[in-house]
C-alpha cells in the first residue's frame, strides 16, 4: 500500500530567490498537508550523507557544495499517494524536461539548482524525514 507521507526540501537556489512561499503555496494547493517543517542549512558533510546514493556520480561533489551553499526548508508532507503525487507536482529533474505547470518548470534554474527535492520511494521518504526531524519534532 502506498504511504501517505513524503519528504521535501526547498533547495538553496529557490530559498535564495525568495520563492519558498510561492512553492509552499503550490504544495498546499495540490492537497499536501505540512506535518513538520523547518528552515535550516546543511554542512557539506551532511549534504554528502543525504545524497550518498549518488556518491559515484560525476556531479556528486558539485551537488554537495550546492546543497550546502545556503539555507533550505525541509518538510514532511502528507497526502494520499504522497510520493508519486509529489514527484508529479515537482516535475522532471532537468527543468528543460519538466512538464508545464510543475514546480521545477516554474522555479528551477538548472538540472542541479532545481528548486525542490522529492523522495523517490516510501522507504526513502521515511529515512529522509528522520534525517531532518527528531521524534519530538514529528508530533503530527
Ligand atoms: P531529488 O532527489 O533532489 O528530488 P531527483 O530525484 O529528480 O532529485 P536524482 O537523480 O535523485 O534526481 O538527483 C539528485 C539531485 O542531483 C538532482 O535533484 C540535482 O540537484 C542533482 N543532479 C542530478 N543529475 C544531475 C546532473 N546530471 N548534473 C548535475 N546535477 C545533477
Ligand atoms: Mg532523487
- Ligand 1 centroid – CA 136 distance (Å): 30
**Residue 95 φ then ψ, to 5°:** -60, -25
pLDDT for the residue 86: 98
Residue whose cell numbers read 508532507: 77
Distances (CA, A) of 73 to 29, 115, 121: 18, 11, 20
* 140 falls within a domain: no
> Does position 139 have pLDDT exceeding 90, yes or no?
no
Catalytic residue list contains 117: yes
Q: Is 117 touching ligand 1 by the criterion CB < 6 Å?
A: yes
CATH code for position 80: 3.30.70.141
- Ligand 2 centroid – CA 101 distance (Å): 20
* 64 falls within a domain: yes
Residue ranges making up the domain that contains 28? 5-132
- Ligand 2 centroid – CA 115 distance (Å): 13
> What b/e sequence results for 56-89 when a residue is b if at least 16 CB atoms lie within 10 Å of its CB, and e otherwise?
eeeebeebbebbbbeebbbbbbbbeebbebbeeb
Q: Is 63 touching ligand 1 by the criterion CB < 6 Å?
A: yes
Total domain count, the chain:
1
* 138 falls within a domain: no
pLDDT for the residue 104: 98
pLDDT for the residue 32: 98
> Does position 43 have pLDDT exceeding 70, yes or no?
yes
pLDDT tens-place string over residues 4-33: 999 999 999 999 999 999 999 999 999 999
Q: What is the pTM of this model?
A: 0.96
- Catalytic position from the list 36, 117, 118, 119: 117
Look up residue 6 and give its DSSP letter. Answer: E
pLDDT for the residue 138: 82
Q: Is 112 touching ligand 1 by the criterion CB < 6 Å?
A: yes
pLDDT for the residue 3: 77
pLDDT tens-place string over residues 47-104: 999 999 999 999 999 999 999 999 999 999 999 999 999 999 999 999 999 999 999 9
How long, in residues, is the chain? 140
Question: Which conformational region is residue 68 in: left (phi greater than 0), alpha (psi within -120 to 50 degrees), or beta?
Answer: alpha
Amino acid at each position: 500500500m502506498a504511504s501517505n507521507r513524503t519528504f521535501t526540501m526547498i533547495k538553496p537556489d529557490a530559498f535564495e530567490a525568495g520563492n519558498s512561499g510561492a512553492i509552499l503555496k503550490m504544495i498546499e494547493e495540490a492537497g499536501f498537508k505540512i506535518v513538520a517543517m523547518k528552515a535550516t542549512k546543511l554542512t557539506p558533510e551532511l549534504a554528502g550523507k543525504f545524497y550518498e546514493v549518488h556518491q559515484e556520480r560525476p556531479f556528486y561533489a558539485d551537488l554537495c557544495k550546492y546543497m550546502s551553499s545556503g539555507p533550505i526548508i525541509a518538510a514532511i508532507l502528507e497526502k494520499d499517494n504522497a510520493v508519486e503525487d509529489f514527484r508529479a507536482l515537482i516535475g522532471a529533474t532537468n527543468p528543460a524536461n519538466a512538464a508545464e505547470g510543475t514546480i521545477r518548470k516554474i522555479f528551477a534554474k538548472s538540472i542541479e539548482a532545481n528548486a525542490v527535492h522529492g523522495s523517490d520511494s516510501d522507504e526513502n521518504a521515511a529515512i529522509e524525514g528522520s534525517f531532518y526531524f527528531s521524534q519530538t519534532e514529528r508530533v503530527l
